[in-house]
Amino acid sequence: MSPHQEKTPGWLDWYDGPSKPHFVPPPGSVDAHCHVFGPSPDFPFAPERKYTPCNASRDQLFALRDHLGFSRNVIVQATCHGADNSAMVDACRASGGRARGVATVKRSVSDEQLQALHDAGVRGVRFNFLKRLVDTTPPDELLEIAGRVAPLGWHVVLYFEAVDLPELLDFFNALPTPLVIDHMGRPDVTQSVDGRAFETFIDFVDGNPNIWTKVSCPERLSETGPPALDGERSAYRDVVPFAKRIIETFPDRVLWGTDWPHPNLKSHMPDDGLLVDVIPHIAATAELQQKLLVDNPMRLYWPEEC
Ligand code: 0GY
């Protein structure tokens, strides 16, 4: 990747002017998966990055939070910033306690650096297994990092493809922290929700009470896509049965996030208002919505307020 900070060709910028969702999130709702990109040059992108995004600043994220009717954010370190967590930490610090962070760290991180991340609001590290996003980190290095962050009460966020889950299972089960899985473990939604691949995922979560799932990214997983521009707001319908099954099976261990500013989407950029309107289709009752959007993320990221 060149050191120049020009956007990757064909990069889709985030959707400016999202619609107001029809669904009103319960008070105190948390967007538990979102990112900041730069802004560059204040926060340059990492030399080892696999893509160069558009800028997406903390203030733009906070404006989206308010527009969508949310109260808090969990800001996940994006791979374009490598292990330089400055932009994410800056956003957490500027949030007035309304954002927590998930960092990327290397084995060389010092205890003082980990404590400084904690003081800024970081509560987890992310291990990424998508080859298009990162170079591989050896499992022993990841295990060592997990062992270092466990005493801080942090968790590990896992991002992997569904097809890779069987060979990663033993490693995941050896991790000493709670685990949070990004984007439902990226199921192939053209397959049956009762099929073998998704069953493997459900069994994995069922087998460990310390595993949480983000029912996020319908726009990334969907084959049917967003609705046509005809006023219809029921979007990404093929993903709904997968998210619904997870929420109804593990109602106390699910989180929801926008994934704004939606890195690496190729076909379309979602209207974040439409994404919020998927929520009542996957969490059909007020009780499930309260757990998904408020109680669960507060327990994981702001336990001192619960
Ligand atoms: C996501 C998904 C993606 C990218 C990243 O850190 C990242 O670069 O997470 C992706 O390309 O699937 O969660 O934002």
Per-residue pLDDT reduced to its tens digit, 228-281:
655 577 789 999 999 999 999 999 999 999 999 999 998 899 999 999 999 999
- pLDDT score of 1: 52
The length of the chain, given as a count of residues:
306
pLDDT of residue 4: 64
Q: Taking the chain (306 residues) in consecutive chunks of 10 residues, what is each chunk's mean pLDDT? A: 77 95 97 97 96 98 98 98 98 98 98 98 98 95 98 98 96 98 98 96 97 97 80 84 98 98 94 95 97 98 97
Which pLDDT does position 47 carry in this prediction?
Answer: 96
Cα separation, 218 vs 246, in Å, equals 14
Please tell me which residue in 182, 259, 272, 277 is annotated as part of the active site: 259
Domains recognised in the chain with CATH numbers: 3-301 (3.20.20.140)
| pLDDT for 226 | 86
How many A from CA of 107 to the centre of ligand 1? 22
- Phi, psi of 254, deg, nearest 5: -125, 150
Contact 258 CB / ligand 1 (< 6 Å): no
At 227 the pLDDT is 77
**Can you give the pLDDT at residue 225?**
87
Query: What is the residue with the minimal CA distance to atom 2 of ligand 1?
Result: 263
